[in-house]
Amino acid sequence: MEFIKPGINLNIIGKRFVAFAFSAFLILLSIGTLIYHGGPHYGIDFAGGTIIQIKSKTPVSIDSIKSGLAGVGLDGSAVQQFGQAKENEYLVHTSQTLITDQGFSEDVQTAVAGSTGTEIEIRRVEMVGPQVGKDLQSKALFALFYTLLFITIYISGRFEFKWVISGVMAVALIGAVYFFSLFNVSIPFLILVALIVTLLLFWQLRLKYAMGAVVALLHDVLITVGLFSILNIEFSLPIVAALLTIIGYSLNDTIIVYDRIRENLKRYHRLPIEELINKSINETLSRTILTSGTTLLVLTSLFFLGGDIIHDFSRALIVGVVVGTYSSIYVASPILLFLKEEGEAKS
């Protein structure tokens, strides 16, 4: 089945500077939002604290819930509606690390029932210590960094047959990151520096395919995280899982286009590189749109019908699939063209 008929010749490469400008705007907006908010809005998984899910028999006001919580020493807690309004469920977030035993739950239930004047059910209580949250932050950042690094080894080996160079570079970077992490260097700063050094090494070693793929993946992750920051949505472990899924999905799309470029380089070696890359993108466009469309259909169903627990997870995947499809077409391949042109100008 083909959504787009064979022979289509959209001038995708010709619009690359418009695409670059649009991507740069989204990335700068994401970074600016993250700086303004002081980083992502970390959920309990990363920030530590306690979360309590409350269900009332009848609708109640948030102020009345806060009044009851103040009676058990939880004044200053953030309370928000959870799920649909008719379900009368609320989430209580507090930065305090509490002893969440059965007696605690009963005290909260009694206090909130008294302040709201209705029957209250405690659906769940979760507690994460501050040190555990900090460790999870570090592990999540390392997971994203190492995923990108191992992807570069695969891309460089598959498309440029530079397994040894990319492998040695990856081992050196991993060793350097591990070494500096022993000296209590800020992990976010350390990962940022490592990513910048990685891109500079790609540039110097002429690992064109790897650099194009990694820039596209960073593009996808930054924009997705930026959107969550703009909407002030909590950044939790399921979101990290969604980001890793997005990296894999976007990489798959990019590899399909790169494979066609490599095939066409052998088949149409006299064709100008700009036309060849544009032709390759057009030839894989039908598959890309069909794959993304069917994936989005499932994710949209999951978003609306899957319940509140996986709401943010499915939202992140929807954004990631859309941005990842865009980057595979308008970011990864045009960057490959830019690097090839830059390399030819030097030689």
Q: What is the CATH number of the domain that holds 225?
A: 1.20.1640.10
Query: Residue 102 belongs to what domain range?
Result: 49-128
Are 107 and 225 within one domain?
no
Please check the confidence at residue 47 and state whether its pLDDT lies above 90.
Answer: no
Are 222 and 113 within one domain?
no
Per-residue pLDDT tens for 188-219?
Answer: 888 888 888 888 888 888 888 888 888 999 99
Q: Is residue 217 part of a domain?
A: yes
H/E stretch holding 269 reads none
Contact 277, 333 (CB under 8 A): yes
The one-letter amino acid code at 309 reads I
Domain total of the chain: 2
Q: What is the CATH number of the domain that holds 68?
A: 3.30.70.3400
Nearest to 156 by CA among 273, 255, 256, 249: 255
Contact 20, 212 (CB under 8 A): no
Are 108 and 182 within one domain?
no
Among the three residues 96, 128, 160, which one is the final residue of a domain in this structure?
Answer: 128
Are 237 and 104 within one domain?
no
For residue 347, the model assigns a pLDDT of: 46
Please check the confidence at residue 91 and state whether its pLDDT lies above 70.
Answer: yes
Distance CA 300, CA 307 (A): 12
Q: Is residue 4 part of a domain?
A: no
Q: Is residue 7 part of a domain?
A: no
Collect all residues with Cβ–Cβ distance below 8 Å to 196 and sequence separation of at least 6. Answer: none
Are 63 and 37 within one domain?
no
Q: Is residue 1 part of a domain?
A: no
| Residue labelled with tokens 């969550």 | 228
Please check the confidence at residue 344 and state whether its pLDDT lies above 70.
Answer: no
Per-residue pLDDT tens for 233-291?
Answer: 888 888 888 998 999 888 888 888 899 988 988 888 888 888 999 999 988 888 888 88
Per-residue pLDDT tens for 120-179?
Answer: 898 888 877 666 677 877 888 888 888 888 888 888 888 888 888 888 888 888 888 888
For residue 6, the model assigns a pLDDT of: 67
Are 237 and 180 within one domain?
yes
Residue 345 pLDDT level (bands cut at 50, 70, 90): very low
Please check the confidence at residue 115 and state whether its pLDDT lies above 70.
Answer: yes
Q: Is residue 209 part of a domain?
A: yes
Q: Is residue 173 part of a domain?
A: yes
Are 241 and 320 within one domain?
yes
Contact 229, 34 (CB under 8 A): yes
Number of other residues whose CB lies within 10 A of the CB of residue 129: 11
SS (H, E, C) 214-240: HHHHHHHHHHHHHHHHHCCCCECHHHH
∠51-52-54 over CA atoms, to 5°?
150
Among the three residues 128, 157, 186, which one is the final residue of a domain in this structure?
Answer: 128
Distance CA 219, CA 253 (A): 14
Q: Is residue 8 part of a domain?
A: no
Are 143 and 124 within one domain?
no
Q: Is residue 3 part of a domain?
A: no
Query: What is 240-254 written as a DSSP string?
Result: HHHHHHHHHHHHHHH
Query: What is 142-191 written as a DSSP string?
Result: HHHHHHHHHHHHHHHHHHH--HHHHHHHHHHHHHHHHHHHTTT--HHHHH
